[in-house]
Amino acid sequence: MAPARTARRGAGMRAAWQVVRGRPAARLGIAAVAVGHLVMVAVMSMTPVRLGESHADADVLRVVGIVLSLHIAGMYALSPLVGWLTDRLGRRMVILGGVGLLLAACAVAGTAGHHTPRLSIGLVLLGLGWSGTMVAGSTLLSESVPTEVRPSVQGLSDLVMGLAGAGAPRSVGLSCGRWVIRPSPCSRRSRSCPWWR
């Protein structure tokens, strides 16, 4: 009976937080997952807006579909390779590489202007960086905590990741909204956020 009570007691978010708080590797794992997701969602939330400014209405949906497909391929197509590198090079090295790719993605996409191929390259890099932080961060987190609390810790990680992703578009939208000039009824174009110039 004692093991069952212990398992139930360790199944809550409070227990998961206490476990993560006392383990630097677990904190790094959650931070990597959350930061990678935040950056990815922040950039992606502005991509359709940017593409809408760069292409005619008849082409927007097709272009958005192609660009987002390339981004999603970057997120998942090389996941087996990212997992292999995580085992081969170590969790922290792959997290660091993922962060580097995220920074490169922001630099490339953020300076693409109306050049869609360059923006697409930035979004592929964004997907690869997200994959690195997600795979290596999740692995580091899982192996850093006791088995009996792993489900709760994973739930905590998903919660933090979701909150980071939910807050990113709002923050980017509010900051860009300060510089956006609303189009008049006779104008269908608005000035872009300076972050995208």
Q: How far is CA 130 from the centre of its chain?
A: 5
Distance CA 169, CA 13 (A): 26
- The pLDDT, as a whole number, for residue 190 is 40
Helices (H), the chain: 2-9, 13-21, 24-54, 57-76, 79-89, 91-110, 116-143, 150-177
- The pLDDT, as a whole number, for residue 15 is 85
Q: Left (φ > 0), alpha (ψ -120 to 50) or beta: where does 90 sit?
A: left
Domain range summary for the chain, segments of one domain joined by +: 24-169
Topology of domain 24-169, CATH? Growth Hormone; Chain: A; (1.20.1250)
Tens place of pLDDT per residue across the chain (197 aa)? 444 444 445 458 888 899 999 999 999 999 999 999 999 998 888 776 666 666 556 667 777 788 889 989 999 999 999 999 999 999 999 999 999 999 999 999 888 777 788 888 999 999 999 999 999 999 999 999 998 899 999 999 999 999 988 877 666 655 555 544 344 333 344 444 444 44
